[in-house]
Amino acid sequence: MMSVRAGATADLREVADLLNDIILAGGTSALTTPLSASALGDWLNANRDRSAWHVATGPQGDILGFQWIGPWDHLPSNACDIGTFVKIGQIKLGIGSSLFEATCDAALDLGYDWINANIRADNSGGLAYYQSRGFRIWDRLEGVALSNGHIVDKILKRYDLRDT
């Protein structure tokens, strides 16, 4: 049975390993360089009063995925950015869906009105995941240079947390 809980400092090594496997596989994340657990902790815990992250764990307590929300300079203060990462080989098992429920609650608690997903245009799995959650396209960034020099387009999708 899977469960979702707030991420903690003790999770950082396992979460970094999960993320680094995704980065090294390539093709889905805008991140191109593996991160240490310390560097990942700095990112996940930056702006602590405006960000949150959750982990999904399996029956043995192993981390199957994590999701983060927090501010992004290109968004208004009532919006947060989201990142979703699921262990390689574990997609389509409801991990992202379970994480998203906790993330929406956290976003509302932090005072956000909507969530932005910044997705590589060539990441068909990520685009499908966010669409299945109810995100809709609101912008596109063309010719974005990743840290390794690779150029990609980005699709920005929006999920409204409150009725407008």
Residue 72 covered by a domain: yes
- The domain that holds 78 is classified in CATH as 3.40.630.30
Q: What is the pLDDT of residues 80-130, one digit of tens each?
A: 999 999 998 777 668 999 999 999 999 999 999 999 999 999 898 899 999
Residue 128 exposed, middle or buried by CB count within 10 Å (0-12, 13-18, 19+): exposed
Output the pLDDT for position 147.
83
Comparing 110 with 44, which gets the higher pLDDT? Answer: 110
Residue 104 covered by a domain: yes
Output the pLDDT for position 48.
85
Q: Does residue 161 carry a pLDDT above 90?
A: yes
Mean pLDDT (the chain) is 91
Residues 6+ apart with CB under 8 A from 134: 159
Domain of 40 in residue numbering reads as 3-117
- Domain count for the chain: 1
Residue 53 covered by a domain: yes
Helix (H) or strand (E) holding 72: none
Q: What is the pLDDT of residues 141-156, one digit of tens each?
A: 999 988 888 899 999 9
Both tokens assigned to 75: 């968004």
